[in-house]
Structure 1
């Protein structure tokens, strides 16, 4: 009796499995045929369009996440630097030399020395403040006639040496104006300069640290240069001549003075 029940149960399971497979095949055929019907074609097209939009949004979201990660890393570095400066300032304030401390009024009152017995104290002249060191801002040198003549024909194209050097001068100006702002005390800046200052910090990456570079927004801010096809062709020449190099990141190309 048990053997018969086991056989019957096994046949039922097998029958159910086969029927499920047949249903799946029928559903697949129905869906394939549905794509051929005109009434469904527009719906499928809309679904495809929506999928492409979602994919595009996901790509943009991924770029934003990477950008915010870079900002987070930069803020961490700034925080570490600020904490280090704070510790140094605290150490200096807690270890002021005794000779620089002014005597309090109570101490001065306790020392009743006769006027004629008081030794003549010669006050030291205040030391002159050393002149502020001028921070050098790196700039690219102009292309020489010999370098221009040695360029490959495909790279030179219809460009002239003057056009190339005009871009070199523009990049140098943008670098100079940018780093003049970065070297100013933050408290002395106006609102417009402070806004640029924070954008400059956002443009920084671990690879660009310690270099002098500009992005296309800086070129548009400080020069009359047009960032077009000719500009990019000239940048190719400048890379070939080792005047600039590029650091590419999320949504930005950094033109670094070599």
Structure 2
């Protein structure tokens, strides 16, 4: 912009000079003045050409800026759409091992992972939870099994089961003396439902889901449990007339 202003000022000064020479044209101009007039006109012509080139460059830059503005608006609209449509459930990030790593490092990583799983099982304060179903997992469930259960409804059931497990094992982890009468009865019931096959496992029964949530345990919910077994989030252990849903 400053360059264009400088050109404009130069043209203005040259025109002023030509205007003065023309004012003197009422009288006979000396030869050197005529030569001066020609030089001024030639200089003005050069300045005008340079000014046109500069304007052309500015026009191209303006067009480029408009294109950038349109792209920015599109990206902004996409970002706003992403912000307003964040999925309620996001899959957890999996740690991947580089295939080029030595086999020993891979074995150590697997050993550490198994050790952490064992530690979580024996740690009294830790309460296991079912991981959220991912979209690819949901899409791989057979249609006859899914029925009309949506992705969000399936994960709502996951949260419901997690809430039941959390409440149940918080009661189990407390000293019996610290519990009220109702919680003591629940504590006793939980212990009676345990078997040698559930030792070190986290599980719930239908009564726990009814007790700790407002979920209706009906035929539709049974279908959801089948879907969770298909996705390897649960397994069933039957015995004593009770179906135990063990978290995997």
- When the two structures are superposed, what TM-score results if normalisation uses the length of structure 2? 0.49
Higher relative contact order (CA 8 A, sep 6+): 1
